[in-house]
Structure 1
Amino acid sequence: MRQFVNSTDTPAHHLIAPEQYAPDTASLKWLMVKLSTSAKSVMKISHAHAEYVLLHEQFSHRSLSTVTTMSKRNKNSVFEARLYAHEHYLLGDVEGQMIEECLKNKIEDKYLIKELFKRVDDHKKASALHPMPFKIPIFNRGKEFRGVNTSGSEIHTPYSYREGHSCSLGATGSGKSNASSHRVTQLAPVLDGLWIIDVLKKEMRKTAHLLMSLGYQVSFVNAENLTINPLQVPRYKNAKGYALAVSESLTHAFNLPQRAQKLLHITILRLYKSFGILDGGTNFPTLFELFVAIKQVKKSHYQARMSVLDAMEPILEEMGSALSFRHGWDSHELAGTFVYFDFTEVSTVAKSLIINSLLLSEFTSRVAQGLSNVPLQLYACIDEAGSIIDASHPNKSLINNFNIARGGGMSIDVSSTVASIDPTVLSNCNNLQLGCSGARELSAMSREMGLNAEQEDYILHKLQIGTFVEKVSKEWRYPYLVKVPLIQFPENMSSGDEGLGALEHLPVEPTLIPPEFDTSVITVNSSPSDASPPEYSLSEVELRYCKVVVANPTLSSSKLFKIARISSKQALSIRKRLVQEGFLREHSVQNNSRGRSSIVVEALQPALDALAKDRK
């Protein structure tokens, strides 16, 4: 017969302090129910279950003298082994949980103790044979295969770990694209939609062909066959609310000043009103019509209007027909499709505009539906996204989406070689991965991953290609090493297999580019000195001030108010207003030996024209 010993619970570590105690009928009944409902699929536990049933049947006919107890030394060893197993997460699988449940519920069996010691000994041997400053995790309770740890054991995690965003950082050739391809193929069976986006190189194209060889239908999209309308209100989203969101999105994508965001917002609202969108219409305006509307608003803020026109003009010329749709692809339909996007041939601003439009539309739609903490449905994998998530890059569109895209069944996976990743990206990622890299890349990740000096030294000098340091925000919070297997891609990848696929059947409504879109009037990077005069009428006092400026080109601004016969406060207000409207320009000049600079005001062409008109 198997030997048993029961013990009482102790608060420390929620473990059981070993004490001699004889098993009772209630404990055996609990074990039978627990084993029969939770571990039938575990062969060894099932054998133990059968013996426990037999023991229960015979228990009433046996005396307590048949029950033997462990020595004090063995009991202490069991307790130490449990402490070690808890510290290193060695009981995380189904069988390990049953071992812990049995021990916690005052039942200690030879088989359970033997299995506990075996796990502890195997872990200690693996750590001794592979000395490195990383703990060896035991992740084997999920269906996603992440790779193998340093002891050769497979690492499995639940798909729910990917519901949070992911970020992979490493030098060129470290294996990031292979790791991204591995994640995509692992997650594909449980996804409704998958967006694979190439930003810099076309390395993920072979992953799309691999998915096709596995039986998935993949649509191939590039800048030429793209069909989107950034001003198209997504499903479930209020038009007024989306007008604000899309104005902020365009401001970040085009790197515009804050004043321009207000101009975009009010202009988009007016377009929505004139097109009947606020009343439930679906005849959406396009970016071309937004450009024309802003161009025709002469009384708007001059610098804001010119900055918008200067930023939008090259993008509209570059994207052309891809943006001339009243109805583009519905993001709700795209979210249920496997799509490979090739944006390697367009400018950085165009990449930011397109990617942000796709993500913003779907994010806001999910938020409007009230979706939160739902299972993973859509996975957006963006390879070589350094030009978008770089902290030094002015386009913050995708970075801002990391804030609002938490939960809702959609996850973003970005990989990059840049070292200056925006902190917002890292702080919103539940899965961090670091490959072979230099000191700058290591510094960017070290704090978020909680690396110590010994681990940093190992990464700099010993980390192999294809091996990564990972950290997840679930259960095991320590960084660990994982070797990602090399993906075998199809040898024959014909471009003839690349088409729109399911996207060909999505309803779209093209429109003509408005004839008022005449970019010849707008000069890129134009300044107030060479642009057309703003529509602003100068008052008598402002004209007098301009005359004084023209007559005294080298005089400090602090002396002009006396000549113009106005107060210093009024002169300052006039000067600031005329500079803002493009009539004057300020220069800081060092004109004395005391080290103080003076402001000298220059009259620009619009001011000269206004004075000439006044003389007539």
Structure 2
Amino acid sequence: MACLLGGLWSFDFRKREYALLKPYLERVGVELIVVPARQMRINPLHVPKYTDPRNYASVLADGLVGVLDLPAKSARLLHLIILELYRQFSVLDGSQNYPTLFDVREAAAADKGAHAESRRALVTSLNPILASLHEVLRYRFAWTSEDLANLHLAFDFSGITDIEQNLLLNALLLREFRSRLDRGLSNPKMDLLVVCDEAARLCSRGDSSVADLIGAIRGTGIGLDLSVQSADLTRSILSNTPNKFLGRCASANDYDTIGAAMGLTTDQRRWLTTNLVPGMFVGCLGQGRTLRRPFLFRVPDLRFNSRNGLDQSTRNHVSNLFPKNQNPFE
């Protein structure tokens, strides 16, 4: 699929799996650029194209509160600080000399009249991030999501903390999602695929401005491939992801939650708990008369070797995996 798309964003948080695809994508003419986290140039306060800075200040403040795990009261303080910085840097008048998180930290520390707990929490949360990602976050005019959306990128976040990962991930996605919504795009051809393993940081229940936007970006040309380890998901994720795939889980609750969202019967869900094995999945697509019903399939053991890891032996065909008349999906 990568060769058919204008852009691909894949995110490695632990295992660096997507970076391994680089030589294989080159065979089909796709240049995958591996981007280490500490070589990025990101400014979360960089306003997306087509977006009003006043509107973005509110969305960004809510997002930072969730990413930095700040008290709810901090959202108002953060919103006011960002708006004031946009005014001071003439961003409200069209300037592209954007403030940075360093300016946010200094403004919060200097505002002695602000709510003490909110101010202290904001400064305390930003201090280690700014020290660790100084070379990443120091740019006033940073990489734009519009330019990155035309590239095939594997972001390597494996060497930074979870909070730093969440900050960079949310900064990238929030800007691109917001830009496309404000551009007023309506059902264009998909030109950007976002692939996120361990996507619970985007999909889990709780405050997440990106999760809120996922339901709104349908029809803007973005495809999302989100992999999670549990069913602790926001309702908007289940409602706005038409294609769902379920592999072996460790919890019966996960089978029940995702299975119900896929339209599985009680017997089918019970069967999955004891019969799924690694590499075997049940899928349900949002389009296609037959594929909208749950179906079983197996993914071959993709070993990256001279044969491209494709095992063509019959043991990989799902029809050979179950005794006759004992497969509830037939």
What's the secondary structure of 2:97's corresponding residue?
Answer: coil
TM-superposition CA deviations, 1:340-390 (whole Å, max 9, x none) = 001122222111111111011111111111102211110000012234433
Instruction: Quote the residue 1:437 is aligned against.
Output: 249
Query: Paired residue for 1:478, among 280, 285, 293?
Result: 293
Q: 1:404 to 1:255 in 2, by over 3 A?
A: farther
Query: Paired residue for 2:120, among 303, 306, 321?
Result: 306
- What pairs with 1:158-557 in structure 2 (closer than 5 Å)? 187-391=1-205, 396-438=208-250, 439-476=252-289, 477-490=292-305
How many angstroms does 1:206 deviate by?
1.6
How many angstroms does 1:453 deviate by?
2.0
Contact 1:349/1:395 (<8 A) preserved: no
How many angstroms does 1:417 deviate by?
1.6
Contact 1:379/1:410 (<8 A) preserved: yes
Distance 1:255 1:248 in 2: 11
Q: 1:233 to 1:289 in 2, by over 3 A?
A: same
- Aligned-residue sequence identity (percent) comes to 33
TM-score relative to the length of structure 2: 0.86
Letter in 2 for 1:373: N
TM-superposition CA deviations, 1:463-507 (whole Å, max 9, x none) = 24322111112243321112234435257xxxxxxxxxxxxxxxx
Q: 1:330 to 1:387 in 2, by over 3 A?
A: closer
Unmatched runs of 5 consecutive residues or more in structure 2 = 307-330
- Runs of 4+ that moved beyond 3 A: 485-488
Instruction: Quote the residue 1:525 is aligned against.
Output: none
Distance 1:404 1:254 in 2: 24
Contact 2:231/2:254 (<8 A) preserved: yes
Aligned residues: 303
Distance 1:417 1:263 in 2: 35
Contact 2:59/2:209 (<8 A) preserved: no
TM-superposition CA deviations, 1:393-434 (whole Å, max 9, x none) = x56344233233222101221112224233332222111000
TM-superposition CA deviations, 1:34-63 (whole Å, max 9, x none) = xxxxxxxxxxxxxxxxxxxxxxxxxxxxxx
TM-score relative to the length of structure 1: 0.47
Contact 1:287/1:323 (<8 A) preserved: yes
Q: 1:456 to 1:322 in 2, by over 3 A?
A: same
Instruction: Quote the residue 1:87 is aligned against.
Output: none
Letter in 1 for 2:141: H
Q: 1:212 to 1:481 in 2, by over 3 A?
A: same
Distance 1:260 1:277 in 2: 23
Distance 1:466 1:377 in 2: 29
Contact 1:210/1:490 (<8 A) preserved: no
What's the secondary structure of 1:469's corresponding residue?
Answer: strand
Contact 2:230/2:254 (<8 A) preserved: yes
Larger Rg: 1 or 2? 1
Distance 2:209 2:155 in 1: 18
TM-superposition CA deviations, 1:292-331 (whole Å, max 9, x none) = 0111111111111112112212211221210000111110
Q: 1:347 to 1:385 in 2, by over 3 A?
A: same
How many angstroms does 1:212 deviate by?
2.4
Letter in 1 for 2:279: G
Letter in 2 for 1:426: L
Q: 1:363 to 1:387 in 2, by over 3 A?
A: closer
Q: 1:470 to 1:370 in 2, by over 3 A?
A: same
Unmatched runs of 5 consecutive residues or more in structure 1 = 1-186, 492-616
Distance 1:426 1:345 in 2: 31
What's the secondary structure of 2:225's corresponding residue?
Answer: strand
Distance 1:427 1:200 in 2: 28
TM-superposition CA deviations, 1:236-261 (whole Å, max 9, x none) = 11111111121111112112223211
TM-superposition CA deviations, 1:136-163 (whole Å, max 9, x none) = xxxxxxxxxxxxxxxxxxxxxxxxxxxx
How many angstroms does 1:234 deviate by?
1.4
Q: Superposition RMSD on alpha carbons, in Å?
A: 1.8
